[in-house]
Structure 1
Amino acid sequence: MFSDKANHIFQEVIEKYHEINTVGQEFHNPYDEKDQLIEHLLYRKCWIDTVQWHYEDIIRDPKIDPVAALKLKRQIDASNQDRTDMVEYIDSYFLEKYKDVEPKANATINSESPAWAIDRLSILALKIYHMNEEANRVDAGQEHMIKCQAKLDVLLEQRVDLSTAINQLLEDIANGEKYMKVYKQMKMYNDDELNPVLRGAKK
């Protein structure tokens, strides 16, 4: 099933990142873009999410230098744009894959596209990884570990449910029960023509 593949790749990414565990480390995608396109896209997507997860940790340091914080905020903005772009690339993959499927007369549209559901699955993999760390922290108290284990149990259940829902959505699209309709995000704050502050800075 598709979600099994995605979850496996997400775990692969997160474990690979934590071998060095620095946001500035070199990125290498082991999946060939030509021959393993969806694997390539999933790996890249989760890597972006993993780096951004750690950006968000760093910027919350109450002692962070303001200049460094501003630089990091710019990196987070760029990462958010990369994340959105990757979601749209993944949806483009599914649009191409199912382009010849004729939706049934009573076919319905889903509330979100496959790739945005996959985006949530990637973030969920990160939550599970880090909550598992907290549930097994040897320097934490027993109460902390028990609370984190309870949260981890919920996250694991959530992954099963979300994985099942994604698989069902893709099956429904393949069978013509649902159809895809993708809207570009049209983010405005990074566009120097749509953001009035950036537009003014050009004058």
Structure 2
Amino acid sequence: MNATFANDLFRQSIQDYHLTDHVDTSIKNPFSPSDIAFLLYQKNWTDTVQWHLEDIIRSPTIRPDELVAIKRRIDQSNQDRTDTVEQIDAWFSAQFQGITPKPAARMNSETPAWLLDRMSILQLKLYHFREQVDRPSVSDEHRQKAVQKLEVLVEQESDLARCFDELLEDIRNGDRYMKVYRQMKMYNDPTLNPVLYSSQE
């Protein structure tokens, strides 16, 4: 497991989504549920659908009922995204279970899975800025701005990949360690969101 493996999976998911380019396309995860690749592909597919839902919800002609429906889909997508990140971190935690951190080891606040979350979103930015560079109908100024932003994103891709690989290496060597903290989101829980539970009391 390394950054190249993860980024290749993210790019595969993005390419597969854009075969239809529709938010209602059903995911066809090609990997076994027992394989970490399954979770990485699922994670990016969720991100990709949400990316396009975020575009749709900003349409100036969207009807109020459509806007509400898509906002609820985005809320659920955020919950699914968080759940998948936690599953990925649980996988990493199991992989590192037999490693004893050194006495001077430092805890890393960002877990491997949350770093993968950033890498997944970055692959979406790269894909869509490349689309902007290749758009035939835009001005040279628009294209040049897209090229400049794309160059920054490519640099970020390299930086995040290095950070991810170094984090895993440090954890394996006992120089850093991770803890899995659940996000404990409240807004989707009818027993914790006051707007939801007050209507039932």
**What's the TM-score bracket when you normalise by the shorter of the two chains?**
over 0.9
**Counterpart residue number, 1:93:** 91
User: How much does 1:111 deviate?
Assistant: 2.3
Query: Where does 1:58-137 land on structure 2 (aligned, <5 Å)?
Result: 58-137=56-135
In 2, Cα distance between the equivalents of 1:95 and 1:39? 16
Q: Deviations over 1:97-155 (max 9, x none)?
A: 00000000000011211110100000000000000000111000111001100100100
Answering whether residue 170 of structure 2 is matched by residue 172 of structure 1, we say: yes
- Aligned residues between the structures: 201
Query: Where does 1:138-153 land on structure 2 (aligned, <5 Å)?
Result: 138-153=136-151
SS of the aligned residue for 1:4 comes to helix
Q: Which amino acid aligns with 2:65?
A: V
Q: Which amino acid aligns with 1:199?
A: Y
Structure 2 residues without counterparts, runs of 5 or longer? none
SS of the aligned residue for 1:125 comes to helix
Answering whether residue 7 of structure 2 is matched by residue 23 of structure 1, we say: no
User: How much does 1:62 deviate?
Assistant: 1.0
In 2, Cα distance between the equivalents of 1:28 and 1:200? 40
**Counterpart residue number, 2:37:** 39
In 2, Cα distance between the equivalents of 1:105 and 1:202? 51
User: How much does 1:4 deviate?
Assistant: 0.1
User: How much does 1:200 deviate?
Assistant: 1.6
Q: Which amino acid aligns with 2:198?
A: G
Q: Which amino acid aligns with 1:112?
A: E
Tell me how large the CA RMSD over aligned residues is.
0.8
SS of the aligned residue for 2:18 comes to helix
**Counterpart residue number, 1:3:** 3
Q: Find runs of 4+ consecutive structure 1 residues off by over 6 angstroms.
A: none
In 2, Cα distance between the equivalents of 1:111 and 1:162? 15
In 1, Cα distance between the equivalents of 2:195 and 2:92? 36
In 1, Cα distance between the equivalents of 2:68 and 2:145? 34
Question: Normalized against structure 2, the TM-score is what?
Answer: 0.98
**Counterpart residue number, 2:161:** 163
In 2, Cα distance between the equivalents of 1:88 and 1:201? 31
In 2, Cα distance between the equivalents of 1:187 and 1:81? 8
**Same amino acid, percent of matched pairs:** 50
**Counterpart residue number, 1:183:** 181
Structure 1 residues without counterparts, runs of 5 or longer? none
In 2, Cα distance between the equivalents of 1:201 and 1:89? 32
In 1, Cα distance between the equivalents of 2:110 and 2:31? 27
